[in-house]
Amino acid sequence: MAGAHSNPHPHADVLTQSLHPNRRHAGKGFPVSDSIPNAATDQALKILADGSEVPATDPRTDHVAVLFPDGWMVACRPLTDTDGESLPNADAVDAAAAALDLLGHNDWQTAPLDEVWLRHILKHDRYDPALDSNLFPNLARGDWYWTGTNTPWSKDTASSSASSAFGVFLGLGHVGSVPRYLSGFGLACRRARQ
């Protein structure tokens, strides 16, 4: 399983920027819980493999995607290699998302930082993992995930490419800049019901 191995990133210290810069911390760097209800999560739907929908509050964890009220559908399983391990780099994560065929859709992409990760997945009122494990029960808890958002300071305007992108550590909810050549997992999403 993807979460069974140690952190694959030799430069994990580059991912140290806190997800919520104004979040308070109590001694030893542990976040203070600021439990804030999230109406978008409460109104989300779990999508089962047959395409049927159940409320997000349903206790089942065999769903394959989550549909949020703003139209983002997010796959529940991480993008991995065939052995369930991390992919070699951000380009491989992007390719795996684009190749995904789930629920009859083939227009998946790597989940962007602002619209999906920060709005729907990461939860600042919990850690290990910093997400709703009822909605995303199959994501490795102690691993790094690529987002589909390149860092603006690393973009080459001539080629439209970037040397770094934002990565997310699910254990503590940290977000930071990571060189795109490092390995990591990904999460696929698509726009639905627009």
Q: What is the pLDDT at residue 147?
A: 96
Q: What is the pLDDT at residue 29?
A: 36
* Ranges under pLDDT 70 in the chain: 1-42, 157-160, 194
SS (H, E, C) 73-102: EEECCCECCCCCCCECCHHHHHHHHHHCCE
Q: What is the pLDDT at residue 171?
A: 87
What is the torsional sign of CA 121, 38, 128, 61?
negative
144: CB partners within 8 A, 6+ apart? 7, 8, 9, 12, 15, 86, 167, 168, 169, 178, 184, 185
Q: What is the pLDDT at residue 159?
A: 61
Q: What is the pLDDT at residue 126?
A: 85
Q: What is the pLDDT at residue 187?
A: 97
Q: What is the pLDDT at residue 165?
A: 94
Number of H-type helices and E-type strands within the chain = 2, 13
Q: What is the pLDDT at residue 160?
A: 62
Nearest to 95 by CA among 84, 87, 83: 87
Q: What is the pLDDT at residue 157?
A: 63
